[in-house]
Amino acid sequence: MVQIAIDAMGGDHAPRAVIEGAGEALARYPRISKLLLTGPQALIESELERIGLKGDERLEIVHTEQVIGMHESPAAAIRAKPRSSIAVAVELVKDGRARGLVSAGHTGAAVASTVLKLRTLPGIERPGIATVFPSPTGSFLLLDAGANVDGKPKHLAQYAVMGEIYAREILRVPSPRIGLLNVGSEAGKGNEQAKQAYDILSAMNGINFVGNIEGRDLFNDTVDVVVCDGFVGNVVLKCCESMAKAFRDFLRNLLSKNPLRMTGALMCKGAFDEFRTLSDYAEYGGAPLLGVNGACIIGHGSSSPVAIRNAIRVAMEAVEHHLNEHIITRVRELGIASTAKSGNRAERDRQCGAAAAP
């Protein structure tokens, strides 16, 4: 049985979409014993009333008035608002009242407060945001998607291990193929960071490292896990989202240009619906922040109730599958555990300023 904290005020459509998503998750996943909703009590209660869940014993409201806006500076916001809805959700995990948390709010603030309060796992220096990318042949996992924009080569190696475990335990890929995102496929390609990361990854016996992959391999079913620096990963993620949406809109305009096309498009409606479902990133289930103590899932800012429900499922599965325990064991096994004391202060301070935009 799993308890999960939910930042009820996180996201463009909060609290409405978050609370609807929480309700859907409760209905669908009986293994969730409780969802703890953080935010203003009265507001959350009125939303719960609207969907007929006020008083549900598997829901608990943890009141707080403070909310971090999408355009606040993460470091300043977590200092100025120690009782923000995201900070309170993190506290619930720290205090053991929840095993994981979901927030579709300010990504930078979520990363910073999670790292500050929960600290990184033993052996892991920096957490990474792992994002599932839809692809016509299935999907692939990319990390880091923006937790850490000045990643060192050893951080990239740690992402590889965390990505491997996530792909194996949650996405059910038996022996995940891991690729390093680079500008060419041969060894020796790339900038200094990529060259050194390649050397570390090549020397790691036991992982299925297929070598460098290029941007053109991403949607080709070449790998299951794509490892890259958080700067590159964040740009790639947002760029793919934006391109998918722009091309859907463009196609829609082309199809409404004349009555013949409009009739034809109606006949193909099923195909376009499937296309949209595959290519709409906002529908996906949230990205785990791997490498911290707790199952922390970061939802897309424009998360729908379905996306929130999926994010809650991901948090639940991460807990049930003992994801973090697997990661700790695996980094030790592979001999790439950081020797630095986990979550030391200077490291945490750097981390707080590093996260990408929400």
Task: Enumerate binding residues for its own copies (CB under 8 A).
Answer: 71, 73, 108, 135-136, 146, 149-150, 181-186, 188-192, 194, 214-220, 228, 230-232, 234-247, 249-251, 253-255, 257, 260-261, 263-268, 270-272, 274-275, 278-279, 356-357
Minimum gap (Å) between residue 252 Cβ and its own copies: 10
Residue 75 or 312 with smaller CB distance to its own copies: 75
Residue count of the chain, please give it.
358
Residue 269 or 345 with smaller CB distance to its own copies: 269
Torsion angles phi and psi, residue 141, rounded to 5: -105, 130
Minimum gap (Å) between residue 251 Cβ and its own copies: 5
Residue 35 or 115 with smaller CB distance to its own copies: 115
Report the sign of the C-alpha dihedral through residues 159, 161, 165, 168, in that order: positive
Q: Which residue has the tokens 């013949």?
A: 260
Residue 134 forms beta bridges with which residues?
139
Minimum gap (Å) between residue 355 Cβ and its own copies: 8
Between helices 107-118 and 85-94, what is the axis angle to 10°? 30
3-class DSSP state for residue 119? coil
Residue 59 or 197 with smaller CB distance to its own copies: 197
Residue 64 or 279 with smaller CB distance to its own copies: 279
Residue 234 or 293 with smaller CB distance to its own copies: 234
Residue 200 is encoded by which pair of tokens? 């570390």
Minimum gap (Å) between residue 270 Cβ and its own copies: 7
Minimum gap (Å) between residue 62 Cβ and its own copies: 29
3-class DSSP state for residue 198? helix
**Distance separating alpha carbons of residues 80 and 278, to the nearest angstrom:** 39
Q: Where are the alpha helices (DSSP H) in the chain?
A: 16-28, 41-50, 74-80, 85-94, 107-118, 153-169, 192-202, 230-255, 259-267, 269-279, 305-320, 323-333, 345-354
Q: Which residue has the tokens 């790998």?
A: 223
Minimum gap (Å) between residue 193 Cβ and its own copies: 9
Minimum gap (Å) between residue 34 Cβ and its own copies: 34
Torsion angles phi and psi, residue 89, rounded to 5: -60, -40
Residue 19 or 180 with smaller CB distance to its own copies: 180
